[in-house]
Structure 1
Amino acid sequence: MVGFKKFFDRILKPYVRRQDGTTAIEFSLLAIPYFLLTLGIIELSVMYASASLLEGATGSAARLIRTGQIQQATGQDPETVFRDAMCDYARVLINCNDVQLEVVQMDSFADYGTYAPQFDADGNLLSQGFDAGGSNDRVLIRVAYRYHMMTPFIGTLLAGPNSERLFMSTIVLQTEPYEFQGGA
């Protein structure tokens, strides 16, 4: 019995007490939820940054309509000028080819309620055209963008089976009383 105790103390006991692998095992159990949480935080951050960029780009481009620069742009398509101004602002996170927009002249601010956004069967904005109006006109500017989630699993959790989120930015403004040289 004494020989077994010496054998156990000298050879087997160090192996019985070892806990070198416990940290690795614990980390392997926690790694998947940790990485999913980290990816989710990054995905949400990029998603909200894209939404913020869309708002800022819409406001920046709307300034061109408010001041009459788009209406007075000669030899250029007003919608292209507006879209280029937006894309220059938000090119970092937003794919400009996926941006849908409509600009509608209204008779009064009370008409805003009659211009509810309409979508087709695929979820695309049905634009009512691009009419930036003239001097002292009321204008509705609506921009729609479908944000595509980067990670499929997180995208399914946050945005549904198609991993897309619809962002909309709407601005209603009255253009400044500029000297309009287009005839309106």
Structure 2
Amino acid sequence: MKNMGTQYRGRRFLSFWRDTRGSTAVEFGLVAIPFIFMTIGIIELALVFAAANMLEGGVAEASRLIRTGQLQQAGGDPEETFREALCGHALVLIDCDRIVIESIAIEDNTFGGISDIPPQYDEDGNLIPAGFELGAVSDVVLIRAAYRYEYMTPLFGEIFSNQPDRTYPMLATSVMRTEPYEFEDE
């Protein structure tokens, strides 16, 4: 009698072990969390790179206003006009109020003088702007725009960022010689 009960339990255990109903749900439950975590991480990193690309493109577009002399000859606040041109290009992923801009006319008027002007940062890692000089005709001008991208998901901000505020610092730079934009009327 005792042997029959043990045999029955053994068959019951074997039938439970061989039953594959629900195994897909269990496997999906084990794989779903890492898969979703990895997918969100890929999307977050894609947004970071897209924001960096927008900042670079915005600086390149807005720098053209200085290179062609449009900003030097326009009235009003040149830094605000530059910021509006930059923000018109970098509109979606970047908060324009948090962009720090500097424009420096190189004193020796050569591209070699740029290495003498490294960016200056405060103790929190924020760019300290050195002003907004437009330069004159045929001057070499260095333009920098700094932005700190805030990660949208808190967990990834802690993983991907080495900053205490879980941000990714971005710096876009443009260097050019202004064109001879002053023309004399004949």
Task: Work out whether the TM-score is over 0.5.
Answer: yes
- 1:68–1:180 Cα contact (<8 Å) kept: no
Question: What is residue 25 of structure 1 aligned with on the other side?
Answer: 26
Secondary structure at the counterpart of residue 134 of structure 1: coil
**How large is the Cα RMSD of the aligned pairs?**
2.2
State yes or no: 1:84 paired with 2:84.
yes
Q: 1:173 aligns with which of 164, 173, 176?
A: 176
Question: What is residue 71 of structure 1 aligned with on the other side?
Answer: 72
Question: What is residue 104 of structure 2 aligned with on the other side?
Answer: 104
Residue 55 of structure 1 and its aligned partner are, at CA, apart by 0.5
Aligned equivalents of 2:122 and 2:18: distance in 1? 67
Question: What is residue 43 of structure 2 aligned with on the other side?
Answer: 42
Question: What is residue 159 of structure 2 aligned with on the other side?
Answer: 157
Aligned equivalents of 2:92 and 2:183: distance in 1? 34
- Count residues in correspondence: 174
Aligned equivalents of 1:83 and 1:144: distance in 2? 12
Aligned equivalents of 2:166 and 2:13: distance in 1? 55
Question: What is residue 59 of structure 1 aligned with on the other side?
Answer: 60
Aligned equivalents of 1:130 and 1:59: distance in 2? 16
Pair 1:15–1:169, CA change in 2 (3 A): same
Deviations 1:113-151 (A, max 9, x none): 111001111221111100011111110001111011111
Secondary structure at the counterpart of residue 139 of structure 1: strand
Gapped regions of structure 1 (runs ≥ 5): none
Identical aligned pairs, as a percentage? 45
- 1:136–1:175 Cα contact (<8 Å) kept: yes
Deviations 1:61-111 (A, max 9, x none): 00000000111111x100000000000110111110110110000132221
Secondary structure at the counterpart of residue 73 of structure 2: coil
Q: 1:148 aligns with which of 142, 147, 150?
A: 150
Secondary structure at the counterpart of residue 172 of structure 1: strand
Residue 162 of structure 1 and its aligned partner are, at CA, apart by 2.4
Q: 1:129 aligns with which of 131, 134, 137?
A: 131
